[in-house]
Amino acid sequence: MNTHALYSSLGLAWQLLRRDLHERHAGMLLGTWWWLVQPLILLGLYTWVFGAVLQLRFAPHDVSNNFSYAHYLFAGLVVFNAFSEVLTRAPTCISDRRDLLLNTPLPLWILPLLPVASSIVLEWLGLAVLVGVLLISGHASWSLIWLYWPLLLVRLVLSLAASYSLACLGVFLRDLRQIMPAFLTVLLFITPILYPLHSVPADYRAWYDWNALGHLVQAYRSMLFEANLKAALLMSLLFLASVLLGFAALLFQILAPRVRFAL
């Protein structure tokens, strides 16, 4: 593919993303503002219920901040929701554009990019709300701006691997769209998002060492609340995500020629 064709394809992907974001909120009173209003409402709800009412805490012996549980929970959900956006929409991202694929020379590789791109928007808006609250309350520093980008790179590589795998498999295995909600529910409970990792019994702790999403959530929390980023963990996650992306690209390359005939 030459440079001109690549730019044209990326421009088309941008137009499809804008159209997709607009269609998802068409007819709503607030329209695309829901992307910002929803995390604001959730953060306020978590802060009141888990902080002021239940007074739960993620960090042990933390009595200085009643709202820490809400912040930790929201930080974990920002990552999980962005990743679940990809897992939920990737299995149908090709079949949903069936008419466009059959009637135009649209490059197939563009479509799995759309769930990943929309997950970036979802993550940025959620983080903007959380970081804004932390900066106002004096619990965050501007160094987060530099620490965030390596984590985003890891999350994007992992999301691309999931999107390209599920996008091509979803054409042939239509059950994936029904399986994903149940799988995400299981993933939510086996990932330390609703509870701190130190509360997991030692007998089950070994299982959590294999949960890449759990390690990524912990890295996001360390970045947000401690302004700390462990290079060894980051490189391990990036290596794993890169290997998965390589397998996903190979799978997509094998199945792509058959996709248009299976639609």
Q: pLDDT per residue over 61-93, tens digit each?
A: 554 454 477 788 888 888 998 998 899 999 988
Question: What mean pLDDT is predicted for residues 112-120?
Answer: 88
- Judge whether 92 lies within some domain: yes
Q: What is the pLDDT of residues 130-146, one digit of tens each?
A: 888 788 777 666 667 78
- Whole-number pLDDT of residue 70: 75
- Judge whether 12 lies within some domain: no
189, exposed or middle or buried, with CB in 10 Å at 0-12, 13-18, 19+? exposed
- Whole-number pLDDT of residue 133: 79
Q: Measured in whole angstroms, how far is the alpha carbon of residue 121 from the centre of its chain?
A: 10
- Whole-number pLDDT of residue 66: 42
pTM for the structure as a whole: 0.83
pLDDT surpassing 80 at residue 104: no
- Judge whether 258 lies within some domain: yes
* Torsion angle of the four alpha carbons 55, 61, 67, 69, in this order, in degrees rounded to the nearest 10: -80
Contacts of 156 (CB under 8 A, 6+ apart): 116, 120
- Judge whether 6 lies within some domain: no
Q: What is the pLDDT of residues 25-50, one digit of tens each?
A: 555 555 556 666 766 776 677 667 76
Residue 169 belongs to domain spanning: 34-262
196 Rama sector, left if φ>0, alpha if ψ -120 to 50, beta otherwise: beta
- Judge whether 4 lies within some domain: no
9 versus 175: the higher-pLDDT residue is: 175
- Judge whether 255 lies within some domain: yes
pLDDT surpassing 70 at residue 21: no
- The number of distinct structural domains making up the chain is 1
- Judge whether 14 lies within some domain: no
55 Rama sector, left if φ>0, alpha if ψ -120 to 50, beta otherwise: left
